[in-house]
Amino acid sequence: MRKRGKLALAVVGGLVLALVIAWAVVLFAFRDVATTLDEEDVGLTVITGAGRPGDYGLYVYATTGYETTDALAGARHDYPGETYLTIQPGGCGTLVRWQPIAQRYEEWDYCPDGRLAGRSAYFEWFQFGNTDRWECSEPVAVQGEPGSSWVAECIRPETPNAAAAAEIITYEALGYEILTVDSTGVQTLHVRAVVVGTGGSVAEGQVDTWYLVGTNLPVRRVVVHDSTTDSRIGSVRYHESAEINLVSLEPRG
């Protein structure tokens, strides 16, 4: 009887050990990471222009913020104190990309007249990456005369990872404001975009952007965004809160 008891305890102990090892392997395989980027790690071949504010090049921003998800055990990415935005030729005319960490970026596709043709958003959690591509039925104005407002709709087509979704965006040009960049006062246009998402991604958010007048260059940007997306593992909630402020008007190349 004692031998049987010892054998049973040994079997149970072996099973527990095997489960612990298996769980440790799963945690290691699906561990989440957030990698800070240096200027040379942005990942783009930066084409420079004439060196004027808003020209092609790389811009530096003082940054605060984070993003979270409740997928799997949940995770959080804190953004570093310095992040980068690039303005490059491409797409409809100009691609503007802000990338706070290696696992996250936003990219806006602007046409020569300054209207937005679409945007892409890349997210990577637990070492699995996904890119959402939003297409506007026709290019959308993102700047306007102070006091004006307008509504646009952009669509995310269905993908193997997510159902189709739509965003209704209400823009409002709040007015011109003087902001200080490296001890220099510059005129900006403050535009507020309120986003409501439906379909495979239910979302709500507000993005305030202060554009350097006459350019697509954000001098300041404040975003708060929440969404719930249907996925293969169920509904996944996401939250982002961030603020960026331009450090220098001169692009780096």
DSSP secondary structure string, 56-67?
SEEEEEEEEEEE
Q: Which amino acid is at 220?
A: R
The CA-to-CA distance between both ends of the chain, in Å, stands at 78
5 φ, ψ to 5°?
-65, -45
For residue 235, the model assigns a pLDDT of: 83
- 91 half-sphere exposure, CB direction, 13 A CA radius: 23
User: What is the number of residues in the chain?
Assistant: 253
Residue 159 confidence (pLDDT): 75
Amino acid symbol at 88: Q
Give the separation between CA 207 and CA 220, rounded to whole angstroms.
11
Instruction: Give the model's pLDDT for residue 41.
Output: 75
Judged against a pLDDT cut of 50, whether residue 12 lies above it is answered with no
> Buried b / exposed e across 36-60, counting CB within 10 Å, b at 16+?
ebeeeebeeebeeeeeebbbbbbbb
Dihedral pair phi/psi, residue 128, rounded to 5°: -115, 120
pTM for the whole structure: 0.85
Backbone angles phi, psi at 166, to 5 degrees: -135, 150
Q: Residue range 161-183: average pLDDT?
A: 93
CB 224 within 8 A of CB 241: yes
Q: β-strand 104-110 against 93-101: which pairing, if any?
A: antiparallel
Q: What is the pLDDT of residues 71-123, one digit of tens each?
A: 888 999 999 999 999 999 999 999 999 999 999 999 999 999 999 999 999 99
Whether 49 shows a pLDDT value over 90: the answer reads no
Nearest to 94 by CA among 216, 180, 225, 249: 216
pLDDT of 215 over the 60 cut: yes
CB–CB of 165/177 below 8 Å? no
- Check the CA dihedral 129-135-139-143 and report its sign: negative
Distance separating alpha carbons of residues 48 and 32, to the nearest angstrom? 34
Mean model confidence pLDDT for the chain: 87
Taking every pair of C-alpha atoms in the chain, what is the biggest distance, in angstroms? Answer: 89
d(CA 101, CA 34): 7
| pLDDT beyond 90 at 200 | no
- At position 85, the amino acid (one-letter code) is L
Q: How many CB atoms lie within 10 A of CB 215?
A: 19
